[in-house]
């Protein structure tokens, strides 16, 4: 059901790779709710997906940008405001990558060059996005900035590897920078800790299929889908949540508050 929750609002969506990605689903839902936006991803990532199809479907323009490059981000935000006709109301940061995971390096045997690259892409890029938006005074008052996280930032999931550290850093940036953005600009900054989701990035984690099945049996509502997360993100972009900031919002069907479920116990009895 559509309510035009975002009518007249302008934004930037980072990370829409393909139709399975949360950023892709979010772009579709934002479009349905009346919002307008530009899409962006790193040039290398864009070659792996089909972002042009999403742009055509939603009437959005695509601006290639490396989110780890302050220069690229400055150009992106200037172009976005020019294309959209004013300051920004919402931003989605949906970027994550671990070279150690891709290369099969165990957490106890990291290649630290890979570690730094993944940390830069997955977490430091969020600080850079926030800093450029802040310095350029590019956000409208009561705007909303959301980054996607995962519960491995707080609890041990062995095969999530160094992405757990990246997500912990990401959440800390949201709180720390969110304080200044809220105080000085009346802009809210939050992270959403989503259920394990069958995206291209998620499926790169060792044992992902077993893990997503386990989470589904643990959560009383089951796993939240990419579309569910898109809907939640739309609510965070809307004026209905204008006083929510500095939060890591758990969107996981209740998984985070369950010690053990009956369904999981039955597997061991």
pLDDT of 44 strictly over 90: no
Q: In the predicted model, is pLDDT for residue 261 greater than 70?
A: yes
pLDDT at 207 over 90: no
Q: How far, in Å, CA of 92 to CA of 146, rounded?
A: 5
Beta bridge partners of 194: 251
- The band of 46, judged by pLDDT with boundaries at 50, 70 and 90, is confident
**pLDDT band at residue 181 under the 50/70/90 scheme:** very high
1-30: pLDDT as tens digits: 567 999 999 999 999 999 999 999 999 999
Query: Which residues on neighbouring strands pair with residue 139, listed in sequence order?
Result: 88
- Burial string for 218-235 (b: 16+ CB within 10 Å, else e) reads bbeebbbbbebbbbbbbe
Tell me the pLDDT of the chain averaged across its residues. Answer: 94
Q: Taking Cα atoms as reference points, which of 55, 58, 96 lies closest to residue 200?
A: 96
CB count within 10 Å of CB 164 equals 21
**What Å distances lie between residue 178 and 98, 99, 185, 189, 212, CA to CA?**
25, 28, 10, 5, 31
Rounded CA-CA distance 143/182 in Å is 10
Q: pLDDT, tens digit, for every residue of 33-43?
A: 999 999 999 98
Q: How would you class 67 by CB atoms within 10 Å of its CB: exposed for 0-12, middle for 13-18, buried for 19 or more? A: buried
What's the pLDDT at 205? 65
pLDDT recorded at residue 1: 57
* Per-residue model confidence as pLDDT tens digits over 80-134: 999 999 999 999 999 999 999 999 999 999 999 999 999 999 999 999 999 999 9
Whether the CB-CB separation of 60 and 50 falls below 8 Å is answered with no
pLDDT at 208 over 70: yes
């Amino acid at each position: 059901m559509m309510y035009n929750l975002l009518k007249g609002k302008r934004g930037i969506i980072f990370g829409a790779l393909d139709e399975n990605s949360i950023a892709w689903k979010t772009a579709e839902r934002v479009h349905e709710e009346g919002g307008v936006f530009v899409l962006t991803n790193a040039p290398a990532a864009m070659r792996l997906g089909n972002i042009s199809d999403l742009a055509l479907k939603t009437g959005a323009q695509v601006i290639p940008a490396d989110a780890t490059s302050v220069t690229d981000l400055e150009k992106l935000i200037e172009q976005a405001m020019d294309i959209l006709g004013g300051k920004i109301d919402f931003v989605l940061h949906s970027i994550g990558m671990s070279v150690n995971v891709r290369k099969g390096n165990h957490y106890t045997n990291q290649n630290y060059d890979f570690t730094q690259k993944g940390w830069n892409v997955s977490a430091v890029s969020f600080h850079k996005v926030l800093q450029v938006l802040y310095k350029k005074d590019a956000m409208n008052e009561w705007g909303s900035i959301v980054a996607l996280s995962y519960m491995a930032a707080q609890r041990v999931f062995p095969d999530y590897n160094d992405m757990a550290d990246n997500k912990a850093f990401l959440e800390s940036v949201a709180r720390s920078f969110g304080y200044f953005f809220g105080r000085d600009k009346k802009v809210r900054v939050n992270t959403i800790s989503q259920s394990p989701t069958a995206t291209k990035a998620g499926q790169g984690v060792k044992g992902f299929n077993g893990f997503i099945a386990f989470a589904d049996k643990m959560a009383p509502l089951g796993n939240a889908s990419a579309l569910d997360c898109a809907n939640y993100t739309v609510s965070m972009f809307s004026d209905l949540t204008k006083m929510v900031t500095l939060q890591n919002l758990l969107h996981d069907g209740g998984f985070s508050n369950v010690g053990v479920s009956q369904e999981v116990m039955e597997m061991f009895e």
